[in-house]
């Protein structure tokens, strides 16, 4: 008997043919693809072509990891604003942790559904894990914010978060990368939902959001991420540099020790996120602000401003001065943030994000740098925060 005529082989062949016939086409129908994302649980979804000009700063990192990526599916998952606005950090963190898990679950469900149809699909974490061997550089090859903007999910507001036209900034972002094209792509939203109320600047305990839109990355990072990444390495150094238990307790208060335990056990924690909490943008949220601003300030903004809490700052930073001036009832905790450049190039790259512009006010200087040895770099730094390298 010819092997091809054997019933088992025949059945196998028929199955293979049926699978091949059910395979997705080379170019995917946009509406079908979006429907798959919505069915997986996304609250809104948009598609971007990897070659879009807006992604030029981000494309290399994405393609290094996913060289086959052609279409990016950007989707949002809603958060409950009442939880994010709560003065309890536990309630806020639970909302962040739950939404991130949900978002990664949706990405997983979508990639699985697509891969069952023979479509190559992958996803990078909504938040963590990240590629920490790149620390303290850019550890996230997929930047969800610019992708979401290009996919029409919203625009960045004064607080640097993506504001969705309906849900405001109460969304977590995620991206699924796909190995084929789609029939149509989305464009950026035609308006920015940010109304420039600047409540985000008014509420930030460390003053990292300037009225002019400047964002001071390292001050946000030092406070918000006290129990993660660089804050964690600073904690370890506090342990190892303490000669006695008493010495350790002078550096780290008991609630701070158990806070580290909680962060390690249960996931991300943010000391603030107030910039997100107070934002009134988005169809679903704006009504409460425009109809009665006074009550809005009283109910949403003031409780966060009045909260007595520890605020983590680098000694001598703009944020230390800000807390002392604006929030005398909050406790200043002077700490390290673990950001240590690992190379001359990394040092130069980090300068704009660690620059303390208030402390440097009135300064008019130019620093020439020449690095020799393993790296040969020349750079000129001036007070416009730019490093012009030769």
Residue placing its CB nearer to ligand B12 in the complex, 36 or 174? 174
Smallest distance, ligand B12 to C-beta of residue 242, A:
26
Residue placing its CB nearer to ligand B12 in the complex, 226 or 333? 226
Contact 154, 164 (CB under 8 A): yes
Residue placing its CB nearer to ligand B12 in the complex, 298 or 385? 385
Inter-CA distances, 372 with 113, 349, 358, 379, Å: 53, 17, 32, 12
Residue placing its CB nearer to ligand B12 in the complex, 221 or 327? 221
Burial string for 203-212 (b: 16+ CB within 10 Å, else e) reads: bbbbbbbbee
Smallest distance, ligand B12 to C-beta of residue 21, A:
37
Binding site for ligand B12 (CB under 6 A): 96, 126-127, 136, 140, 142-146, 159-162, 169, 171-174, 215, 217, 220-221, 224-225, 270, 272-273, 275-276, 353
- DSSP track, 113-146: HHHHTT--EEE--SSS---GGGTTS---SS-HHH
Residue placing its CB nearer to ligand B12 in the complex, 30 or 98? 98
Residue bearing tokens 């190379």: 343
- The edge-to-edge listing of strands for the beta sheet with 387-389 is 366-371, 377-382, 387-389
Smallest distance, ligand B12 to C-beta of residue 79, A:
9
Smallest distance, ligand B12 to C-beta of residue 206, A:
10
Of 153, 180, 191, the closest CA to residue 30 belongs to 180
Smallest distance, ligand B12 to C-beta of residue 12, A:
43
Smallest distance, ligand B12 to C-beta of residue 238, A:
20
Residue placing its CB nearer to ligand B12 in the complex, 24 or 86? 86
Q: What are phi and psi of 60, to 5 degrees?
A: -55, -45
Contact 137, 345 (CB under 8 A): no
């Amino acid at each position: 008997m010819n092997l091809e005529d054997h019933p088992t082989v025949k059945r196998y062949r028929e199955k293979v043919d049926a699978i091949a016939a059910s395979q997705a086409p080379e170019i995917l129908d946009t509406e079908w693809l979006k429907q798959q994302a919505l069915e997986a649980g996304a609250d809104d979804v948009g598609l971007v072509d990897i070659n879009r000009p807006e992604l030029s700063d981000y494309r290399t990192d994405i393609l290094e990891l996913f060289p086959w990526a052609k279409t990016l599916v950007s989707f949002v998952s809603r958060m409950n604003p009442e939880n994010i606005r709560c003065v309890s950090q536990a309630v806020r963190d639970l909302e962040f942790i739950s939404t991130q898990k949900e978002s990664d679950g949706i990405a997983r469900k979508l990639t699985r559904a697509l891969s069952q149809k023979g479509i190559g699909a992958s996803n990078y974490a909504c938040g963590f894990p990240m590629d920490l061997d790149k620390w303290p550089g850019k550890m996230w090859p997929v930047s969800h914010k610019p992708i979401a903007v290009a996919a029409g999910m919203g625009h960045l507001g004064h607080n640097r978060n993506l504001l969705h036209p309906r849900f405001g900034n109460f969304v977590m972002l995620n991206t699924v990368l796909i190995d084929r094209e789609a029939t149509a792509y989305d464009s950026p939203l035609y308006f920015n939902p940010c109304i420039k109320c600047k409540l985000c600047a008014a509420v930030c305990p460390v003053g990292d959001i300037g009225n002019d839109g400047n964002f001071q990355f390292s001050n946000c990072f030092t406070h918000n991420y006290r129990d993660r990444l660089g804050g964690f390495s600073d904690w370890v150094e506090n342990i190892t540099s303490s000669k006695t238990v008493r010495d350790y307790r002078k550096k780290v208060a008991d609630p701070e020790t158990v806070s580290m335990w909680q962060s390690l056990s249960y996931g991300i924690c943010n000391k603030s996120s107030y910039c997100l909490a107070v934002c009134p943008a988005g169809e679903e949220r704006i009504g409460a602000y425009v109809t009665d601003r006074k009550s809005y300030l009283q109910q949403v903004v003031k409780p966060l401003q009045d909260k007595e809490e520890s605020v983590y700052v680098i000694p001598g930073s703009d944020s230390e001065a800000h807390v002392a001036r604006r929030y005398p009832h909050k406790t200043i905790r002077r700490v390290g943030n673990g950001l240590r450049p690992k190379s001359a190039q990394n040092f130069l790259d980090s300068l704009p994000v660690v620059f303390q512009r208030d402390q440097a006010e009135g300064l008019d200087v130019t620093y020439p740098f020449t690095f020799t040895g393993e790296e040969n770099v020349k750079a000129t730094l001036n007070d416009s925060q730019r490093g012009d390298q030769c």
